[in-house]
Structure 1
Amino acid sequence: MSKASQISRGDKSRNARLGRLRELVPVSSAIVGIDLADAKQMVVVCDHDSRVLARRTFRVRAWDLGAALDWAAERAAKAGFAGVTVACEPTGHRWRVLGQLAAERGMAFVCVQPLISSWARRGEDLTSDKTDEKDAVLIARLTAQLRCYAPEPIDETWGRLRHLGVRRERLLTEATAQVQQMRDLLECAWPAALDTASYPFRSRTWAATMSIILERDGGDFARTRRLGLERLENLVRKEAMCWGAEKPTLRITRKLFAALDDEAGVLAHRSGALERVAFALQDWFETRRRRRDTEARMTKVIEELGLTALVTSMPGLTVIGAAAILAETGDLRRFTSARALVKHAGLAPRERSSGAFTGRTRVTGQGRPSLRLAAWRALWGTVKHNPVHAARYRHLISREHNKLKPTQAQAAVAAALLRQLHAVITSGRPWDAEVAAHGLRRRALEAAA
């Protein structure tokens, strides 16, 4: 057999995936397509040619769908099928309930991506009609074509990490909005306060001094002036401990005290704007505290999973950075390959070629945006402190042929980070620079010798 006639690695991977799906959707089982809603559930029983064997509307909540599954099993048995495969779209939270009810009855359970349903709906009759009845049949048809997937198995520890990751992401969004609000208000009413530190919202001393000026004295600069610089510094030393600074940078406090005499800004709005800044500062302080608590809980979950030593073996990757990624992916061992994980994040390259034409290669941008964001955030630490990632980034932006832009190189390194994290966790071995560099360093040394 010639090399050209052999199947590719992608063919083997695709065949294996179809084989696993065929085990969940055997031809001996009927397909139960369910269009989930709040209090109305449309259930259809179909064969593998998408012929509807039975149809019924159940006006119940998701937790009461057990009777619907029993009804579907009876109709499938009467039609001569040995079992059923339950299929639905993974929208909201109800699909998890349905998956548990199916597992309790020994029924196979698969999901159909809503995006695939949307594309199939357009090609159904070119009308893009959307009804519960048609969607249930469409879900069953896509399942029969194996255009479905096996959802992530339920695990208590991994499930807790996912929920903590969602909470952390929400707190990060809130903190960003609060910082932006304070910056906008200060630029309008008291811009001099922002010039007292290079990065004011990263300085605990700046935050402690502002909290004293805005909360203790209510933004009354005359009262703060009467307080005096020396007494203000003493108060800042105590307040800075609440913000996590053991030794405050009093140089920033002195600059803020001097900025009290600055008249720049819209003075008519200064009183009201500073009051809003004080509210936002309080909210920001509480958001930071809740985020630290959430991150401490995520760290404990990583310890419970026994992954702390593995994820910290990669230079530049913190436990929180790895926890944020794993909160979006779940157990990495459920991915058949590292490339599947990169595709899940939407960081895989998208090839565009036909005949003699070759288009520009870009990342797909599909998959899970929150996972892509978590990998992007973790990237900054590894590019700075990981020698392999730093060398790869410099090579991609400086090579003569096919030189990448900085953002393109960052996406490539973020994908490499996910691949290496997958290898570390699935193999149970710490990160190794020689392996991560594909042995290039060793071959270079051998050639030099």
Structure 2
Amino acid sequence: MNFTQNEKLKQLSERSIVIGVDIASELHYARAFDWRGVELGKVFKFENSAEGFKNLYAWIERIKRQAQKDSIVVGAEPTGHYWFGLASYLKEQNIKLVLVNPFHVKRSKELDDNHPSKTDAKDPKTIAKLVIEGRYNEPYIPEGLYAELRIAVTCRVRIQKEMNSIKNRIQRWLKIYFPEHETVFGKFDATSSMLVLQVAPLPRDIERLGVEGINRIWRDNKLRAVGMKRAKSLYEAAQKSIGCTEGESCSRMEIQLLLQDYHTKTAQYQAVTETIDGLCRQIPEVAKLLEIKGVGLVTVAGFLSEVGDIKRFNSPKQIQKLAGLALRESSSGKHKGQTTISKRGRARLRAILFQAVMPLVAKNAEFAEIHNYYTTRTQNPLKKKQSLIALSCKLIRVFYAILTKGTDYDPKKLIMDIHRPVEYLAA
């Protein structure tokens, strides 16, 4: 998956042309250079459309004939989502695309002219020079099942955020118009609460219904968990309510719209979750991952959606680096700085791993034991958060072994990995 810089440099030869492309929403700029950095031709502009891509391909072919070269490498910045279309087109044409870090472009733009300007015509040259120096990465674009899974998980995350937003708005509405509501139901999204809110959201509406009317709503919907006692509590809370009484008509409309949004998002969330479950079940090793106590479908699906085909990695350390969990040290001379994680990588993958480790420490005996060892050992004890990061890296290694080798999860082997196997054997 990863090449060293020397291997990247060896991929360019005298027969290579490096094309730097500055990507924007509508108009892209391209410049061509040979492997030594000598420019071939002038700046070329093309639109972000099928016609524009055809013009780019014709320009590349013309440059190839004029320079008598046969190998093309296109370098670009991963600008938002605008580069996806170009990447797909270049793949169809069997042209290699590599990506450079925008931070590197920003820092190296003054090397040629000693000027801080940053223009659409200048950036392609800076990008191409970084590619020539081997300072690039080859993008991974998921295919097939993994592409479907990434889209589905992204949808789930988006829907979850929207659901949380709607929940907050409903809670805000209740605090304004019926603050006593939570003393009766606790959570507004309880079935008994939602049924009443749809019919009688305001305290005045509940007073008009009466205790019998409230109880009838639950009986008609065959709800047995609540009865006259809860109905009476709700009625009394409505009578004593200090909620706002102005704008009742539109406040009813507002809560009805919010409840409709909530039901819609809940249905969407369930549908996407079922889709994710179906996709994950197509990967044979997923069942073995789910056998680990404390690991659920959300964790496994999120991990696979971010990592993609795990067999493209040669080592779990590469996944650790992808997640931004590689160690970073700042030392000079006798000074030894504090070691931290790099946080350079896929932030969502890092979050998924960290969120997965916390329930593992609480529910999984092996992970809890290792966490206890890391935080209480005599030499170099870790802080709790540092231990959770270390366990995130260990979880990567566990997932990697199961997904690549098809082995079963072995709790004893996990315990033996820490540096005191004799004590465990004696126990």
TM-score (norm. length: structure 1): 0.83
Distance 2:376 2:239 in 1: 49
More displaced 10-residue stretch of structure 1: 90-99 or 167-176: 90-99
Deviation string, structure 1 residues 359-383 (Cα, Å, up to 9, x no partner): 2222222322222222233233322
- Does the 8 A contact of 2:6 with 2:134 survive in 1? no
C-alpha distance after superposition, 1:322-349 (max 9, x if no partner): 1122222222222332222222222333
Residue matched to 1:38: 25
Corresponding position of 2:148: 160
Task: Tell me, in whole angstroms, the C-alpha distance in 2 between the residues paired with 1:325 and 1:389.
Answer: 18
Which residue pairs with 1:350 in the alignment? 328
Q: Distance in 1 between matches of 2:389 and 2:251?
A: 40
Structure 1 residues 190 and 418 mapped into 2: Cα distance closer, same or farther (>3 Å)? farther
**Contact 2:202–2:252 (Cα < 8 Å) also in 1:** no
**Structure 2: how far apart are the matches of 1:121 and 1:284?**
49
What displacement does 1:303 show? 1.7
Structure 1, gaps ≥5 residues long: 1-12, 242-246
Contact kept? 2:13, 2:35, Cα under 8 Å: no
Q: CA deviation at 1:153?
A: 4.3
| Residue pair 2:316, 2:397 contacting (<8 A) in 1 also | yes
> What does residue 352 of structure 2 align with?
374
Match of 1:51 in 2: 38
2:362 is aligned to 384
SS class of match (1:133): coil
CA contact (8 A) 2:416 2:424 kept: no
Counterpart contact for 1:30–1:45, Cα < 8 Å: yes
Distance 1:220 1:45, change over 3 A: closer
**Aligned residue in 2 for 1:8:** none
Q: Is the 8 A contact 2:207 2:239 kept in 1?
A: no
Long gaps (5+) in structure 2: none
Could you tell me how far apart the structure 2 residues matched to 1:360 and 1:435 are? 31
Query: 2:18 is paired with a residue of what secondary structure?
Result: strand
Q: SS of 1:336's equivalent? A: coil
The corresponding residue for 1:214 is: 197
* Shift in alpha-carbon separation, 1:344–1:252, aligned structure 2, 3 A: farther
How far does the alpha carbon of each residue in 1:65-103 deviate from its partner, in whole angstroms, 9 at most, with x for none?
Answer: 133134223313432323111221222334333333333
Q: Is the alpha carbon distance of 1:370 and 1:78 closer, same or farther for their aligned partners in structure 2, counting shifts above 3 Å?
A: same
| Structure 2 equivalent of residue 409 of structure 1 | 387
Structure with greater helix share of residues: 1
1:178 is aligned to 166
Residues 1:288 and 2:266 aligned together: yes
Identity of aligned residues (%): 23
Report the aligned-residue RMSD.
3.1
The Cα of 1:128 is off from its aligned counterpart by 3.2
Q: TM-score, normalised by structure 2?
A: 0.86
Structure 1 residue 150 displacement after superposition: 1.2
1:224 aligns with 2:212: no
TM-superposed CA distance for 1:126, in Å, is: 5.4
SS of aligned partner of 2:42 = strand
Look up the match of 2:15.
28
Q: Which residue, 301, 310, 313 being the options, matches 2:288? A: 310
Corresponding pairs, count: 424
- Which residue of 2 is the match for residue 297 of structure 1? 275
Equivalent in the alignment of 1:4: none
Write the distance in 2 (CA, Å) between the matches of 1:156 and 1:32.
29
Cα distance, 1:18 vs. partner?
3.4
Give the distance between the partners of 2:50 and 2:87, measured in 1 at CA: 11
- Structure 1 distance, partners of 2:275, 2:212, is 40
Question: Which of 102-111 and 392-401 deviates more?
Answer: 392-401
Query: Is 2:63 the partner of 1:81?
Result: no
**Which residue does 1:446 correspond to in 2?**
425
The one of 312, 319, 337 equivalent to 2:297 is: 319
Q: Distance in 1 between matches of 2:73 and 2:225?
A: 63
